[in-house]
Structure 1
Amino acid sequence: MLLGKKRKLGRRIDEIMVGEKLSLTEKIEDKDLLLYLGLTDDANPLFIQHDYASQTPYEKPIVPSIMLSGIISSAISKYLPGPGSHVLNQEIEFLKPVYHYATVQFLFEVVDVNRQNHYVIVSVVGNNESNEAVIKGRFKICPPYRLEGLEGKALENF
């Protein structure tokens, strides 16, 4: 359960170095697509209808671009820099379509650490099973701030 549980914060800006890397593999399953489409109420036929998609240059249904962005954002929140971080800016290119059941290998790399203004720049490249780049981007991220001691203080989650 997410609520009511204390979470360890991610790494502070003074703990992050240029050149750090994170590799993450994601397989796009039906359950993931159905959750996304149900949550957003997105009924784009390019995402779900084989008969429609077969008549397009894509030839079969593709994974929504924003869903791939969500995978990246989730990895930033979970791992690099981790819990308590916040994406300030993002630039993403979707180079090739990602199809249902695809496996995407993401490589994250810290390319800049700006301690004075409290942000890091992380580049991301996602490759498909054929090792072709399908997505690339740069993210400006505010790492978690170190908090003062909270002994005896109660904080609400919402």
Structure 2
Amino acid sequence: MDQTLDTLENITYDELREGDVATYTRTLTEDELVLFAAVSGDVNPVHLDAAWAADSMFKERIAHGMWSGALISAALATVLPGPGTIYLEQSLAFKRPVKLDDTLTITLTVLKKEPKNRVTMGCDVRNQAGETVVTGEARVIAPKQKMTITKPRLPKITIEQ
């Protein structure tokens, strides 16, 4: 079946093979940074206040670490294994800051298939310069049944300036 940009197709537990790899890419915008702060409640000034962040160790505003974690979740839910995946555990090590307009590529690798449809996934997050920003592992329950779904349409939300 041809998969278009408007559909998501999963990879079932039986189809997964150790060593399988998939990627997911996203760019951090001003709106996404502010919306993540609003949704999470994390209003640390290092994320939101340019003057305050200029005096920090980073010298500029940075993304919330869990924004990268949320992208891993999105990659697991939409790419590998995809729709129907149940997220069980996640370890994360933050290696370098993510800045506004950074484009992150999440690479997921099937490390180990376990009983009861459990799968351990390697998670590697790199910026547009190829620098590692986050590493970790996730454990998921991979879907049993094959499915292709229509990608839900989400509202475009912007912040008033």
TM-score between both structures, scaled by the size of structure 2: 0.80
Measure the CA separation in 2 of the matches of 1:8 and 1:45.
37
Q: Give 4+ residue runs of structure 1 displaced > 3 Å after superposition.
A: none
The residue aligned with 2:107 is 107
The residue aligned with 2:117 is 118
Measure the CA separation in 2 of the matches of 1:18 and 1:133.
22
The residue aligned with 2:136 is 137
The residue aligned with 1:69 is 69
Give per-residue Cα distances to partners, 1:105-125, cap 9 Å, x unaligned: 2211111111x2321111111
The amino acid of 2:27's aligned partner reads K
RMSD: 1.8
Work out which of the two has the higher radius of gyration on C-alpha atoms and give 1 or 2. Answer: 1
The residue aligned with 1:88 is 88
Specify every segment of 5 or more residues in structure 1 that has no aligned partner in the other structure, as ranges: 1-6, 148-158
Determine if contact 1:11/1:144 at 8 Å carries over to the other structure. Answer: yes
Measure the CA separation in 2 of the matches of 1:40 and 1:138.
22
The residue aligned with 1:127 is 126
Measure the CA separation in 1 of the matches of 2:22 and 2:112.
15
Determine if contact 2:34/2:48 at 8 Å carries over to the other structure. Answer: no
TM-score between both structures, scaled by the size of structure 1: 0.82
**Matched residues, percent identical?**
23
Specify every segment of 5 or more residues in structure 2 that has no aligned partner in the other structure, as ranges: 1-6, 147-161
Measure the CA separation in 2 of the matches of 1:39 and 1:66.
12
Mean Cα deviation higher: 8-17 or 25-34: 8-17
